[in-house]
Amino acid sequence: MATATKKKLVQWGPAEVKSALLEKYPPKVARKRAKQIMINEAQQNETPELTANVRTIPGIITMRGCTYAGCKGVIMGPTRDIVNLVHGPIGCSFYAWLTRRNQTDAGPDGENYMNYCFSTDMQEQDIIFGGEKKLAQAIQEAYDLFHPKSIAVFATCPVGLIGDDIHTVSKNMKEKFGDCNVYAFSCEGYKGVSQSAGHHIANNQVFRHLVGQNDEVKPGKYKINLLGEYNIGGDGFEIDRIFKKCGITCISTFSGNSTYDQFASSHTADLNAVMCHRSINYVADMMETKYGIPWVKVNFIGAKATAKSLRKIAGYFGEKALIDRVEAVIAEEMPEVEAALAEITPRTEGKTAMMFVGGSRAHHYKELFDELKMKTISAGYEFGHQDDYEGRQVLPNIQVDADSRNIEEIEVSADETRFKPRKSDKEMKALEKAGYRFKHYDGLAADMDKGTLIIDDLNQYEAEKLVELMKPDIFCAGVKEKYSIQKLGVPMKQLHSYDSGGPYAGFQGAVNFYKEIDRMVNSKVWGFMKAPWQKNPQLSASYNWE
């Protein structure tokens, strides 16, 4: 099948591609972008090579969103029994209304506000005279209507500028109600260089106002929290299914299909398993310091990665019953995965992919493309930091700029009564000796081939250029990027919202993803782009009606 995407007439080297990407920019822009484009050496640097988490260049069409999007949209959005009230003009709440595909299941308590959109809809007079009274009244109205356990307030740009004290308003309302926890997030859109600042702000307030509110010990063995899993397209449901099968008790998920009580009880778990390193590592660190819960990086995207992560969790608890159970589950789940791969890989092997998404996703999804025997020729994050690219060992050497300093770092110390090391020093040492690595993440670069291009904060112009020069078989990013790439005749998979698909996590999710990529890279539609008369414009013989 001859499609435009398969004609690789020119083989470009990474250095040539890099200079082609920079060619058109004004000199200042080119210098800045050059530092955010790295030809991968796949080395474990101590000092970061690539610049990341820096300001977006005004006027350059970026994929990034704002701090509010990272806080309300990403972290708090998926919680189902908290009334998420946005304080600001109407747009911010409207755009974050059901658009991220966080699936929820109301469960036996039946409380679920996910399908609702709450806003104070600030008007001109609120901007001029202040919006605190309106906010207090809106909180009151939400309380009277729904009697939720908790109301979370989110600031949008003008709130910070006019100086509304949303924290005091929330505190007062919390005291007034007595049975409803009200707290606020100063996540104005301009607070950081990307969504990432919003994640950090959300982590801080979740830790401050939610974690540790309920000391009641939950039943079950092998208790963990799953951090940084947002149940897009039902990913969390698939992971929950696997945990249940293995006998692992998930006390809380931050924050797919989560509840207030899950956050409140999360400090009773014995291990934090971190999925999305970028968005949630802060709270993992703070919980370790305050409550003594260690954290490990896991990844449930990719069948092999899922198996590896389950073994990691089982290894931590170290009990034979769990280790055996996990092995049995893996053995039970893998045949279906292998059968799907055996059928599909002949059609995907050797094809190429590009991924520019999120702050961990581009790394996670590489696993799935590896399983399909597809090569990831270029990748990067929208809002990742240097440790997400090159590993946490670069952390001490990251230069903290003014934008990052702007985001509060909470001082945490061990809780006087509730700090409890989950493992003794000896046990931790033994685990580490056995190759077990806590608080550890190698980053994307280590997993990418040498000579591939790693690009931070890729923009529309560069995306188009990359596709034109390197002609990947599939490109992955977000909804804004989808159709400009597809107009070029290259299938584009959304890895934020999954194009209404999913789940892609776990074993069943992996199979879904293999089928989806097979569908996309082998679709007949890419062969229809030219009409017969466009393919053969010259008439070679006269056409007669005979």
Partner 1 sequence: MLLRHTPKEITERTALTINPAKTCQPIGAMYAALGIHGCLPHSHGSQGCCAYHRSALTRHYKEPISASTSSFTEGASVFGGQANMLQAINNIFTVYNPEVIAIHTTCLSETIGDDLPQIKKKAVAEGKVPEGRYLISASTPSYAGSHVTGFSNMVKAMAGMAEPTGKKNGKVNIIPGWVEPADMEEIKRITKMIGVKTILFPDTSGVLNGPLSGEYKMFPEGGTTVAELQSTGDSKGTLALGEWCSADAARELDKKHKVPCSVLDMPFGLKATDRFIDALRTIAGVSIPEEIAHERGQLVDMISDMHQYLYGKKVALVGDPDQLIAMTEFLVSMDMKPIHIVTGTPGKKFEKRIKELTKDMGCEVNVKAAGDMFLLHQWIKNEPVDLIIGNTYCKYIARDEDIPYVRWGFPILDRQGHQYFPTVGYKGGIRLLEKILGVLLDRKDRDDAESKFELVL
Q: Is 325 in the site for partner 1 (CB under 8 A)?
A: no
* Nearby residues of 384 by Cβ (< 8 Å), 6 or more positions away: 52, 53, 196, 278, 358, 359, 360, 362, 444, 456
Q: Is 108 in the site for partner 1 (CB under 8 A)?
A: no
Catalytic residue, chosen from 33, 80, 87, 199, is 199
Q: Which is nearer to partner 1, 70 or 506 (CB)?
A: 70
* Nearby residues of 26 by Cβ (< 8 Å), 6 or more positions away: none
Three-state DSSP class for residue 225: strand
Supply the minimum distance, in Å, between the C-beta of residue 300 and partner 1: 26
Q: Any idea what DSSP says for residue 411?
A: -
Is 276 in the active site?
Answer: no
Query: What six digits make up the tokens of 182?
Result: 């009200």
Query: Pattern 516-545, binding to partner 1, x per CB under 8 A?
Result: ---------x---xx---------------
Q: Which is nearer to partner 1, 158 or 380 (CB)?
A: 158
Instruction: Select from 58-66, 330-338, 363-371, 512-520 the region that touches partner 1 (CB under 8 A).
Output: 58-66
User: At CA 384, angle to CA 114 and CA 185, rounded to 5?
Assistant: 45
Q: Are 120 and 131 in contact (CB under 8 A)?
A: yes
Can you tell me which of 49, 334, 461, 469 binds partner 1, judged by CB under 8 A? 461
Q: Is 126 in the site for partner 1 (CB under 8 A)?
A: yes
329 CB neighbour count, 10 Å cutoff: 22
The string over 417-456, giving b where at least 16 C-beta atoms fall within 10 Å of a residue's C-beta and e elsewhere, is eeeeebbeeeeeeebeeeebebbebbbbbbebeeebbbbb
Q: What are the CA-CA distances from residue 316 to residues 310, 320, 455 (Å)?
A: 10, 11, 35
Please report the DSSP string for 231-267 in residue order. -BTTHHHHHHHHHHHHT-EEEEEEETTB-HHHHHHGG
Q: Is 60 in the site for partner 1 (CB under 8 A)?
A: yes
Is 199 in the active site?
Answer: yes
Instruction: Find the binding residues for partner 1 in span 344-403 (CB under 8 A).
Output: 402-403
Supply the minimum distance, in Å, between the C-beta of residue 496 and partner 1: 9
Can you tell me which of 12, 97, 419, 438 binds partner 1, judged by CB under 8 A? 97
Q: Are 245 and 313 in contact (CB under 8 A)?
A: no
- With DSSP H G I counted as helix, E B as strand and the rest as coil, what are the percentages for the chain, rounded to 5? 45, 15, 40
Instruction: Select from 20-28, 44-52, 165-173, 311-319 the region that touches partner 1 (CB under 8 A).
Output: 20-28
Supply the minimum distance, in Å, between the C-beta of residue 529 and partner 1: 4
Please report the DSSP string for 439-460 in residue order. S----SGGGSPTT-EEETT-BH
Listed residue (170, 197, 260) closest to 71, CA to CA: 197
Q: Is 127 in the site for partner 1 (CB under 8 A)?
A: yes
Can you tell me which of 45, 53, 67, 203 binds partner 1, judged by CB under 8 A? 67
Q: Is 116 in the site for partner 1 (CB under 8 A)?
A: yes
Can you tell me which of 64, 167, 241, 439 binds partner 1, judged by CB under 8 A? 64
Can you tell me which of 397, 399, 406, 536 binds partner 1, judged by CB under 8 A? 406
Q: Is 8 in the site for partner 1 (CB under 8 A)?
A: no
Please report the DSSP string for 299-336 in residue order. --BSHHHHHHHHHHHHHHH--HHHHHHHHHHHHHHHHH
Residue type, 436: Y
Q: Is 420 in the site for partner 1 (CB under 8 A)?
A: no
Is 187 in the active site?
Answer: no
Q: Is 20 in the site for partner 1 (CB under 8 A)?
A: no
Q: Is 13 in the site for partner 1 (CB under 8 A)?
A: no
Supply the minimum distance, in Å, between the C-beta of residue 4 and partner 1: 5
Can you tell me which of 7, 10, 11, 110 binds partner 1, judged by CB under 8 A? 110
Q: Is 484 in the site for partner 1 (CB under 8 A)?
A: yes
User: 122 φ, ψ to 5°?
Assistant: -60, 135
Q: Which is nearer to partner 1, 117 or 323 (CB)?
A: 117
Q: Which is nearer to partner 1, 3 or 268 (CB)?
A: 3
Q: Is 113 in the site for partner 1 (CB under 8 A)?
A: yes
Q: Which is nearer to partner 1, 82 or 274 (CB)?
A: 82
Supply the minimum distance, in Å, between the C-beta of residue 214 and partner 1: 23
Catalytic residue, chosen from 33, 52, 69, 101, is 69
Q: How many residues bind partner 1 (CB under 8 A)?
A: 93
Instruction: Select from 90-98, 276-284, 290-298, 361-369 the region that touches partner 1 (CB under 8 A).
Output: 90-98
Would you give the distance in Å from CA 545 to the centre of its chain? 61
How many helices (H) and strands (E) the chain has is answered by 22, 14
Residue type, 91: G
Catalytic residue, chosen from 34, 64, 100, 311, is 100
Distance of alpha carbon 287 from alpha carbon 422, whole angstroms? 12
Is 66 in the active site?
Answer: yes
* Nearby residues of 255 by Cβ (< 8 Å), 6 or more positions away: 75, 76, 77, 78, 79, 230, 263
Three-state DSSP class for residue 489: coil
Instruction: Find the binding residues for partner 1 in span 193-212 (CB under 8 A).
Output: 193-194
Instruction: Find the binding residues for partner 1 in span 129-188 (CB under 8 A).
Output: 134-135, 137-138, 140-142, 144-146, 156-158, 160-162, 188
Q: Which is nearer to partner 1, 169 or 355 (CB)?
A: 169
Q: Is 260 in the site for partner 1 (CB under 8 A)?
A: no
Residue 1 class from Cβ within 10 Å (0-12 exposed, 13-18 middle, 19+ buried)? exposed
Supply the minimum distance, in Å, between the C-beta of residue 390 and partner 1: 24
Which residues form the catalytic set?
Answer: 66, 69, 100, 199
